[in-house]
Structure 1
Amino acid sequence: MGKTVRDVLLRALKSLRETAFKEFKFKLEDLDVKEGFSKIPGGMLEKAEHVDVARLIIQNYTESYGIEVTLTVLEAINAREEAAKLMDALKTVDGYTFQEPSSEAGASYRAPVQETAQEATSRDEKHFVDRHRAALIEDVPLVPPILDDLFQDDLLTKQAYNKIYRKSTSEEQMRELYTFVNTWRDKDKDQLLKSLRKHHAPLIKKLESK
Structure 2
Amino acid sequence: MSSKKMVIMNVLENLSENNLAKFRMALVDRRGDRRVALGKVERKDFMEITNVLVSTFTEDRAPSVTAELLRSIKCFDEAEELDNEIAKLKSSAGKTVAASAAAETAACTAAGGTAHSKEEHFVDKHMPELIERVCNIKKILDILQKKKVIQGEIYEEIYNTPVNQEKMRKIYRLALKSGKAAKEIFYECLKEYEPYLVADLEHSE
TM-score by length of 2: 0.51
When residues 19 and 67 of structure 1 are mapped into structure 2, their CA distance, relative to the original with a 3 A threshold, is: same
Residues 161-172 of structure 1 mapped to structure 2, 5 A cutoff = none
When residues 109 and 68 of structure 1 are mapped into structure 2, their CA distance, relative to the original with a 3 A threshold, is: farther
Mark the runs of 5 or more structure 2 residues left unpaired by the alignment.
102-121, 143-155, 177-205
What is the deviation of 1:151?
3.5
Mark the runs of 5 or more structure 1 residues left unpaired by the alignment.
116-127, 138-142, 155-210
Residues 93-112 of structure 1 mapped to structure 2, 5 A cutoff = 93=89, 94-95=92-93, 96-99=95-98, 106=129, 108-110=133-135
| 8 A Cα contact 1:3 1:92, kept in partner | no
The amino acid of 2:22's aligned partner reads E
- Map of 1:92 onto structure 2: 88
What is the deviation of 1:92?
2.7
The amino acid of 1:57's aligned partner reads L
What is the deviation of 1:69?
1.3
SS of the aligned residue for 2:98 comes to coil
- Aligned Cα root-mean-square deviation (Å): 4.2
SS of the aligned residue for 1:64 comes to helix
- Map of 2:169 onto structure 1: 148
Note if 1:43 corresponds to 2:64.
Answer: no
What is the deviation of 1:64?
2.1
CA distance in 1, matches of 2:168, 2:86: 32
- Map of 1:58 onto structure 2: 54
- Map of 1:206 onto structure 2: none
Higher-helix-fraction structure: 2
How far does the alpha carbon of each residue in 1:73-126 deviate from its partner, in whole angstroms, 9 at most, with x for none? 11110111111100110123221525298866746245696x9xxxxxxxxxxx
What is the deviation of 1:150?
2.9
CA distance in 2, matches of 1:5, 1:111: 23
Count of residue pairs the alignment pairs up: 134
Note if 1:6 corresponds to 2:2.
Answer: no
CA distance in 2, matches of 1:3, 1:57: 13
- Map of 1:32 onto structure 2: 31
Q: Which runs of 4+ in 1 moved over 6 A?
A: none
Q: Percent identity between the aligned chains? A: 15
- Map of 1:201 onto structure 2: none
The amino acid of 1:24's aligned partner reads F
TM-score by length of 1: 0.50
What is the deviation of 1:147?
5.0
CA distance in 2, matches of 1:11, 1:49: 12
| 8 A Cα contact 1:91 1:98, kept in partner | no
